[in-house]
Amino acid sequence: MNHPAEESNISITHFSWIPEFVRLGQKRFRTQGRLLGLSILVGLVAGLGAIAFYIATRAAEHYALGVIGGYDAVPHPAGEAAISWLPIISAPFRPWLLLIIPTVGGLLSGLLVYTLAPEAEGHGTDAVIDAYHNRQGEIRPRVPLVKIIASAITLGTGGSGGREGPIAQIGAGFGSVLANLLRLRPAERRILIAVGMGAGIAAIFRAPLAGALFASEVLYGSPEFEPEVIMPAAIASVVSYCTFGAYSGWSPLFSMPDLAFTSPLQLGPYFILVLFMVLLAMLYTRTFYGCVGAFRRLPLPRHFRPAVGALLTGCVALGLYYAFGGEKQVLSVLAFGYNALQNAINSETSVSAWVLLAIALGKILTTGLTIGSGGSGGVFGPSMVIGGCGGGALGLLLHDWWPWLVPHPASFVIVGMAGFFAAAAKTPFSTLIIVSEMTGGYHLLLPALWVCALAFILADKQSIYSSQVESRSRSAAHRGAYVRQVLSGVRVGRFLKNAVPPLTLHPNDPLGAVVKQLRTTAYSVLPVVDDENRLLGVVNLDEVHLAAQAAHLQPLILAADLMRSDVTPLQPSDQLDRALELFVENDLVALPVVNDLQRRRLIGMVRRFEVASEYLKHVHGARKDGEQ
């Protein structure tokens, strides 16, 4: 039987973990709470931006192509919200306007973009990836606004593109603006622009899980994720999805029949789909960047190039329309083209395989002409159309040959969407999830995983996102961390062996003595010490040069007047990654080394280039060892 004192001790022991738990929780919240709170705000803005952009693109398409041109892209995706105030399309279809309407839209978009914000050209997701890796997350505040208007004009007048690129840049742009307003560190700003990109994707495609994964996966061309992005992006994606869903409803973007994977033998036809998607993806990326290069070489002011691309887009659409005897379905090569996907899913055996193949190939060309010429739009949406229609065409052919293996060609539409983008964008996992969320087709997860993994493995290295880097070690955003990792085992004391004692100054040395000492040494920074050789500060050559300009004051200037006393010195035990931080923090090319920070007795000087040389030795030495 336990005594009361023993029971009291046991009770105290049981609850002794609580203070430690609270302390750990507070520490974790201080480091993560602010970023997660800002992610909620970014998600809210991304959701509202998605609503505004959706309404703008639907209205522009309805009036430009519908009311004026007489073309209504039906059936609309089942999950798209209807806009009740748009008038009924009653004008007769006039095919020749498909040459004029896109051209006018391309002209307006080009003038707007290249006058106000040239970085808003093309597909916005790639611009966000570039800002993450190479621009410390900086996006000018005007870019999202220009992107909304220019993309609504481009896509609404028939230019081939998707909504995800513009909405990604809108969310990322707000993240960058918010980080600058709050004076966040560059690392936090980078996270917020990736969070904004993922939140935009989550809202516009009703895919919150995919948005979080996409934001961290699309940054790299290898199967590598950005771990610091995933959790904030998850929070923002949930908020943006709920914000957009409150307006548009909660249904998946596309409706689909009850499709399922029923036999391992079906993996054989799906492997044929893999090979076809890889070929289509290679054609897509090469055509796209071939168009980009061709338009850049075009001897025409860049303001007018989108108009040329839009005119050629209209020519492709009109040519296909007459080649297929007035079949309106092939006009899905214009604008979004989602009507072709919804029709292929709903009417899986009544649609023509040749029409679907023509849409897939035509969409490759029109997307390259529209976006490659500088038009504003995304490349994910067209990728869904290309992969879905191409997969549907193959599914119909395989259904004719092996109906018992391919009972539902519509499954090849869904899985083709996933496999094509996995090969083209090098994002197999987020693509697998986003297609499942867009269609509600979770019963096809296994064949979609099979196709996405193999498509990624078999595809070549070229990605539709040219700003992707191979891995974190290749990213300029993480180069500092990589340098610190290489140098973390080397200490400052290494440079003090056999070193010549540095020249020093004293506070009362006149300017002439300071100049003389600088002329006799290779250092541009000299330490100032007292009579006991304790460090007081440093004198920089730049300060001496400025002081020497005032000839009448030279006899009055002493070393104490030129000395910086706020410099943090190095110690022999400091690792070189710490030395790099202090070089940046002190903004000097050489730093004094003291025995310790209390007594501060000077024992040497270390120059920044010496640390850089040591880094190169370690890197090249590691490479040589790895090559052996």
Query: CATH no. for residue 264?
Result: 1.10.3080.10
DSSP H helical segments within 91-249, as ranges?
A: 97-116, 124-134, 142-156, 164-181, 186-204, 208-217, 227-248
Expressed as residue numbers, the domain containing 622 is 479-627
Tokens of 262: 């029923």
Q: Report the alpha-carbon distance of residue 456 to residue 577 in Å, rounded.
A: 37
Looking at 446, 474, 502, the residue that finishes a domain is 474
pLDDT at 18: 62
Both 470 and 506 in a single domain?
no
Taking the CB of residue 578, how many other CB atoms lie within 10 A of it? 17
The predicted pLDDT at position 484 comes to 58
Of the segments 228-232, 576-580, 584-588, 617-621, which one has the largest average pLDDT value?
228-232
Total domains in the chain come to 2
Same domain as 541, residue 469: no
> Does residue 605 fall inside a structural domain?
yes
Q: What is the Cα 255 distance to its own chain's centre? A: 29
- The CATH code of the domain that includes 554 is 3.10.580.10
Rounded to whole angstroms, how far apart are CA atoms 114 and 475? 28
Residue 517, token pair as written in the block? 């000492």
- Let me know whether 450 and 483 are in one domain: no
Tell me which of 219-223, 263-267, 311-315 is least confident.
219-223
User: What CA–CA distances, in Å, run from 282 to 75, 278, 279, 417, 525?
Assistant: 30, 6, 5, 15, 55
Last-in-domain residue among 450, 474, 498 = 474
Among 156-165, 311-320, 361-370, the least confident range: 156-165
Tokens standing for residue 498: 């056999």
Tokens of 102: 């896109």
- Cβ atoms 527, 602 nearer than 8 A: yes
Task: State whether 118 and 96 are in the same domain.
Answer: yes
Whether residue 11 is contained in a domain is answered as: no
Q: What is the dihedral angle through the alpha carbons of 368, 369, 370, 371, rounded to the nearest 10 degrees?
A: 40
Indicate if the alpha-carbon torsion angle 307, 313, 316, 322 is positive or negative. Answer: negative
The full DSSP string for 387-452 is: HHHHHHHHHHHHHHH-TTT-S-THHHHHHHHHHHHHHHHS-HHHHHHHHHHHHT-GGGHHHHHHHH
Helix (H, G, I), strand (E, B) or coil at 596: coil
pLDDT above 50: residue 563:
yes
Asked whether residue 350 is domain-assigned, the answer is yes
Residue with tokens 């970014």: 42
The answer to the question of residue 623 being in a domain is: yes
- For residues 305 and 298, give the distance between their C-alpha atoms in angstroms, rounded to a whole number: 8
Mean pLDDT of 157-176: 88
pLDDT at 17: 56
Does residue 5 belong to any structural domain of this protein? no
- Token couple for 409: 């060609």
The rounded distance, in Å, linking the Cα atoms of 623 and 11 is 58
Contact present, 328 and 71 (Cβ < 8 Å)? yes
Q: Which of 117, 154, 564, 48 is nearest to 378 (CA)?
A: 154
Return the bridge partners of 607, or none.
Answer: 590
* Tens of pLDDT, residues 194-227: 999 999 999 988 999 999 999 999 999 888 888 8
**Average pLDDT score, the chain:** 86
Contact between residue 125 and residue 380 where contact means Cβ atoms under 8 Å apart:
yes
Strand-pair category, 602-607 with 525-529: unpaired
Q: Sorting pLDDT into bands at 50, 70 and 90, what band is 148?
A: confident
Residues 164 and 221 in one domain: yes
Tell me, yes or no, whether 267 and 202 share the same domain. Answer: yes
Is residue 30 over pLDDT 60? no
* Of 215, 212, 206, nearest in space to 244 by CA: 206
How far apart are alpha carbons 511 and 508 in whole angstroms? 9
Q: pLDDT, tens digit, for every residue of 351-360?
A: 889 999 999 9
Q: How many CB atoms lie within 10 A of CB 16?
A: 9
What's the rounded mean pLDDT across residues 102-130? 88
Q: Before 507, cis peptide (omega within 30)?
A: no
- 322 falls within a domain: yes
Quote the CA–CA distance of 215 and 235 in Å, as a whole number: 12
Are 99 and 159 members of one domain? Answer: yes
pLDDT at 21 over 80: no
- Cβ(446)–Cβ(418) below 8 Å: no
pLDDT value at residue 624: 45
Bigger pLDDT: 305 vs 187: 305
> What would the mean pLDDT of 375-400 be, rounded to a whole number?
92
243 alpha carbon, distance to own chain's centre: 22
* Cα torsion 232, 234, 240, 243: sign: negative
Whether residues 469 and 538 fall in one domain: no
Look at residue 622 in the predicted model and tell me its pLDDT. 46
CA 209/CA 214 separation, integer angstroms: 9
User: What does the DSSP assignment read for 468-496?
Assistant: -BSSGGG-GGGHHHHHHHHHTT-BGGGGG
pLDDT interval class at 20 (50, 70, 90): low
Position 4 in a domain: no
Alpha-carbon distance of 150 to 144, in angstroms, equals: 10
> Within a 10 A sphere around the Cβ of 252, how many other Cβ atoms?
18
Above pLDDT 90, what percent of the chain?
41
260/285: higher pLDDT: 285
Helix axes 380-401, 410-425, angle to 10 degrees: 130
Q: Which residue has the higher pLDDT, 121 or 625?
A: 121
If one counts every other C-beta atom within 10 angstroms of the C-beta of residue 94, the result is 13
**Residue pLDDT, tens place only, 453-483:** 999 999 988 899 988 888 776 777 766 565 5
CA–CA separation, 196 vs 213, rounded Å?
A: 13
**Neighbour tally for 424: CB within 10 Å:** 29
21 is a domain residue: no
Q: What is the mean pLDDT of residues 269-295?
A: 95
Higher pLDDT: 124 or 540? It is: 540
Q: Is residue 29 predicted with pLDDT exceeding 50? A: yes
Residue 627 pLDDT greater than 50, yes or no? no
Q: Is the pLDDT of residue 364 over 70?
A: yes
410 and 524 belong to one structural domain: no
Assess whether 428 and 519 both reside in one domain: no
Environment class of 263 (CB within 10 Å of its CB; exposed 0-12, middle 13-18, buried 19+):
exposed
Q: Residue 308 pLDDT more than 70? A: yes
pLDDT at 626: 43
| pLDDT score of 109 | 93
Other beta carbons within 10 angstroms of residue 115's beta carbon come to 10
Q: Domain end: 458, 474, 490, which one?
A: 474
- Residue 202 tokens read as 């989550």
Residues forming beta bridges with residue 570, ordered by sequence position: 593
- In this structure, the answer to whether residues 461 and 597 fall within a common structural domain is no
Q: Are 42 and 190 in contact (CB under 8 A)?
A: no
Dihedral angle sign, alpha carbons of residues 193, 195, 197, 200: negative
Q: pLDDT tens, 501-530?
A: 888 999 999 888 888 888 888 888 899 999
Both 539 and 442 in a single domain?
no
DSSP code at position 94:
-
Residue 620, pLDDT score: 58
